[in-house]
Amino acid sequence: MEKVNWKIQGMSCTNCALTIDKYLQQKGMQDVKVNFIGGNVSFDLPADHAAHEIAEGIESLGYQVVGHSHGHGHEHGSGQKLFKNHFQRFLFCAVFTLPLMLHMVPGLHSHLLMNPYVQLALTVPVFIVGMDFFGRSAWKSLTKGIPNMNVLIALGAVAAFGYSLYGTLTGQAEQFMFYETTATILTLVFLGNWLEDKSVETTQSALRKLAVSQKVMANMIAYDEQHQEHIFPVESSSLKVGDLLLIKTGEVVPMDCKILWGQASVSEAIVSGESIPVERKMHDRLIGGSTVVEGTIKTYVTAVGEDTVLANILKMVSDAQAEKPPIQQLADKISAVFVPVVISIALLTLLLNYFAAGHNFTESLLRSIAVLVIACPCAMGLATPAAIAVGLGRAARNGVLFKNARSLEVFRNIRQVVFDKTGTLTTGLFTITDFGLWQGNDPHAYGTNVTGVTAYAFQRIVFSLEKYSSHPIGKAIARSWKTKDDIRWAKIEEVKGLGMKALDKEGNEYLATSYAAAARLTDDRSHNVYILKNNRLLGWVDVADEIRPEAKQVIAMLKSAGIKTILLSGDQKQKCEQVAAALGIEEVIAEQTPQQKLEKIAALNKNAPVAMVGDGINDAPALARATVGVSLSDASHIAMQSAQVVLMNHGLKNLPLSLGLGKHTYITIRQNLFWAFAYNIVAIPVAALGFLSPTFGALVMGLSDVVLAVNSVRLNFKKVVRGRETSDLRRELA
How many CB atoms are located within 10 Å of the residue 119 CB? 23
Interatomic CA distance for residues 128 and 138, integer angstroms: 14
Q: Which helix (H) or strand (E) holds 659?
A: helix 655-688
For residue 549, give Cα distances in angstroms to 87, 284, 419, 578, 584: 51, 22, 15, 16, 14
Q: What is the 3-state secondary structure (H, E, C) of 456-523?
A: HHHHHHHHHHHCCCCCHHHHHHHHHCCCCCCCCCCEEEEECCCEEEEECCCCCEEEEECHHHHCCCCC
Interatomic CA distance for residues 319 and 396, integer angstroms: 13
H helices of 245-376, in order, are 269-272, 309-322, 326-351, 361-374
The dihedral sign for the CA sequence 681, 685, 691, 692: positive
Beta strands in 615-687 (DSSP E): 628-632, 645-647
Give the closest residue to 223 by CA, choosing from 194, 202, 244.
Answer: 244
Catalytic pick among 21, 420, 619, 705: 420
Sequence-distant (≥ 6) Cβ neighbours of residue 682 within 8 angstroms = none
Q: In one letter, which amino acid is 207?
A: L
Interatomic CA distance for residues 494 and 476, integer angstroms: 16
How many CB atoms are located within 10 Å of the residue 90 CB? 22
420 catalytic? Reply is yes
The dihedral sign for the CA sequence 25, 28, 29, 30: positive
Interatomic CA distance for residues 430 and 528, integer angstroms: 11
- 371 within 8 A of 687, measured Cβ to Cβ: yes
- Give 452-461's long-range contacts (Cβ < 8 A, gap of 24+): 453/533, 453/538, 453/539, 458/531, 458/538, 458/539, 459/435, 459/483, 460/485, 460/486, 460/487, 461/487, 461/510, 461/531, 461/533, 461/538
Give the closest residue to 614 by CA, choosing from 474, 470, 421.
Answer: 421
Interatomic CA distance for residues 349 and 370, integer angstroms: 10
Beta strands in 201-335 (DSSP E): 217-223, 229-235, 244-247, 256-267, 278-280, 285-286, 291-303
Beta strands in 488-627 (DSSP E): 491-495, 499-503, 509-513, 529-533, 536-544, 564-568, 587-589, 610-614
Interatomic CA distance for residues 156 and 225, integer angstroms: 76
Which residues are identified as catalytic?
420
